[in-house]
Amino acid sequence: MKAIVPALPWLAIFAIGIGAVASVPQQGDAARSDDLAVRVQRIEDRAAIERLLLDYGRDLDRGDFAAYSRLFAAEGEWSGSIGTFRGPAAIQAAMEKTFAPKPGVAAPKPRSFHLLTNAMIDIDGDRATAVSKWTFVRVADNKPVIANAGEYEDVLVRENGRWRFAKRVAPSVLTPAPG
C-alpha cells in the first residue's frame, strides 16, 4: 500500500498532462474539419442532383408538367427533338402539347415511362454538369416498346438553395448528329 500512495501524485500529474495535450488543437484539425464539411456537402449535392434527375422522369411520366417545369431554373432551357424552350412556362407548354393525351383517345396506363441510367455528375460549387442515358418506352398493345433513346447533357445550377436544370439537352439516337 505504501508504494502506491507516493505514485498517486505522479499519476495525477501525468493524467492532467495527457488531458492538456489532448485538448490542445493539433495543427491541421481545422483543415480536416473543413475538408469533412466540403466532402459532406459534395455528397449531399450529388444526392440532390440524382434526385433531380429522377424527379424529371417521374414528373414527365406522370404528366405533371407543372412540377416538371419547376425542375428548371428561372432561365432554364430544354432542348431536344421537339425544339428548344427557355423558362419553366415555355417548357411546361411544350411538354403539354407534345405528351398530353389526344382528346377522345384513352391513354393506356402507364402510357409511357422513361428509364434513366448511367449518371455521371461533376460538381463545382453552385454549378454542376451531368451526363446520363435515357430510354423512352411506350406501351403498345399492352406491351412496352422502346420508342426512343439518347443521352442527356446537363448543366445544373443551385438556385434559391435547390439544384435545377440550367440547360438540359436531350439528343436522341434517332436525331442526326450535327454536321
CATH of the domain at 155: 3.10.450.50
Give the span between the Cα atoms of 134 and 162, in whole angstroms: 23
pLDDT of residue 90: 97
Would you say residue 5 lies in a domain? Answer: no
Q: In what order do the strands lie in the sheet with 162-170?
A: 83-86, 72-80, 162-170, 143-159, 127-140, 112-124
pLDDT of residue 178: 53
Would you say residue 89 lies in a domain? Answer: yes
pLDDT of residue 1: 53
Answer whether residue 87 shows pLDDT above 70.
yes
**Mean pLDDT of all residues in the chain?**
83
Question: Dihedrals φ, ψ of 178, to 5°?
Answer: -55, 140
Would you say residue 21 lies in a domain? Answer: no
pLDDT of residue 179: 47
Neighbours of 9 (CB within 10 A): 9
Answer whether residue 27 shows pLDDT above 90.
no
Would you say residue 103 lies in a domain? Answer: yes
Would you say residue 60 lies in a domain? Answer: yes
Look up the domain containing 39 and give its range.
28-170
- Sorted by sequence, the CB contacts under 8 Å of residue 63 that are 6+ apart come out as 99, 100
Answer whether residue 177 shows pLDDT above 60.
no
pLDDT tier at 25, thresholds 50, 70, 90:
low
Would you say residue 8 lies in a domain? Answer: no
Average pLDDT, integer, range 155-177: 90
Torsional class of 77: left (φ above 0), alpha (ψ -120 to 50), beta (otherwise): beta
pLDDT of residue 142: 87
Would you say residue 70 lies in a domain? Answer: yes
Grid coordinates representing 77?
432551357
Amino acid at 175: T
pLDDT of residue 21: 47
- Sorted by sequence, the CB contacts under 8 Å of residue 61 that are 6+ apart come out as 110, 112, 113, 114
Answer whether residue 83 shows pLDDT above 90.
yes
**How many structural domains are present in the chain?**
1
Answer whether residue 110 shows pLDDT above 90.
no
